[in-house]
Amino acid sequence: MNFCKTPAIALRRSDYRDSSQIEIFMKRLLLVFFTLVAFVFLGTKISYAKWVWSKETNWVNPDQLLRETADQQFRYAITLIVNREYISAIGIFEDIIKKNPESELAEESQLNIGKSYYLVGDYKNAFKAYERMIEKDPGTRRLKEILEKEFQVGVAQMERDEKGAIKVFEKIIERNPLGFIAADAQVKIADCHYQLRQYEEAEDSYLGVMENYPNSEWVPYAQFRIPYCRLSDIRIQERNYELLTESREGFEIYLANNPHGALVDTTKEIIEEIDIALAERDYKIGEFYLRRKRPDAGVIYFESVIKDYPNTEWAARAKEKIEMLKKVGAIR
């Protein structure tokens, strides 16, 4: 019995040793395989790392581009933009313009100089670069494209230099006062003044949108912003009630002209806030007359609060004051 079991046990142990060796061999083989894959992947990544794509050049390796002709230099400069080497690209574009001033390539180079300055964040020089194209050819077929790019420069400049942005937008309007982007530029001028807290100038600029571009999609926005400028001015002046009333009238005009406008809900909320402020003012004037022992004058203001601002807390207070005055016989 023992004799029969021993070979079987020995065989199983032998099989275990063989399978264990096979497993170790397979692990080593897999390790070699993954090492080779990683090497191939990294090698491929490195070999293609310098390849860049643009609509002007498609896929190219900048280091392999010839740079003898103006066209070849232009293609190389484009790859520099893609690689964010903007200053180097500008130098090459300027050299192309200098050597080929009347060529179409020079025009493209000037356009890309503006683009490079824009991408590097130098908005003043970007605008100057685009302006040179119009100054050289005021009737250029690319006027619309150039003005669009100038507009983008102005919008970007608003974040840190509103005054500089205003100059950009004013120039756009001057170049094409009734053009496709003039109304947009006028709105941005107003927005810049508002950001600078120049509320009167902002209001005038929004009014300019309505007067000069009455068919523009910006008219409802301008109608809303005009009274909003007055309201903002009031906050600076610590409650100028005359301006507050004018502001409210302006918001009412917006609602009348844009009953389904995008800013209707906001406008109604603002009107409610204004009503609260005006109601509080009239209520306190009424109290002032009570202190002066003029209940007849005071009740006039309390009644005004109830009539003009019925949904405010001050209307409820005014009613209580009138009832109290009647109880004490101060009024009939």
pLDDT at 28: 65
Rounded Cα–Cα distance for residues 281 and 296 (Å): 18
Amino acid residing at 198: Q
Q: pLDDT tens-digit profile of 1-18? A: 443 444 443 444 444 455
Q: Which of 126, 122, 115, 129 is nearest to 80 (CA)?
A: 115
Angstrom distance (rounded) from CA 220 to CA 261: 8
Nearest in space to 54 (alpha carbons), one of 71, 73, 76: 76
Q: Which helix (H) or strand (E) holds 53?
A: strand 52-54
Determine contact, residues 62/70, Cβ cutoff 8 Å.
no
Residue with tokens 């949108």: 209
Show the CA angle centred on residue 192, arms to residues 187 and 197, nearest 5°.
Answer: 125
Closest by CA position to 195, among listed 171, 175, 165, 173:
165
**Pair type for strands 58-60 and 52-54:** antiparallel
Of 38-47, 56-65, 233-242, the one with minimum mean pLDDT is 38-47
Band of pLDDT at residue 253, cut at 50, 70 and 90 = very high
**pLDDT given for residue 65 in this prediction:** 58
Confidence of residue 224 (pLDDT cuts 50, 70, 90): very high
The token pair at 329 is 């016989």
Mean pLDDT of 117-129: 97
Looking at the DSSP assignment, which residues form a beta bridge with residue 52?
Answer: 60
Given a cut of 90, whether residue 328 has pLDDT beyond it is no
Rounded to an integer, what distance in angstroms lies between the CA atom of residue 126 and that of residue 148?
13
User: What SS3 state is found at 1?
Assistant: coil
Of 261, 318, 257, nearest in space to 284 by CA = 318
The two three-digit tokens of residue 66, written as one number: 């010839």
Q: pTM, whole model, 2 decimals? A: 0.70
Mean pLDDT of the chain: 85
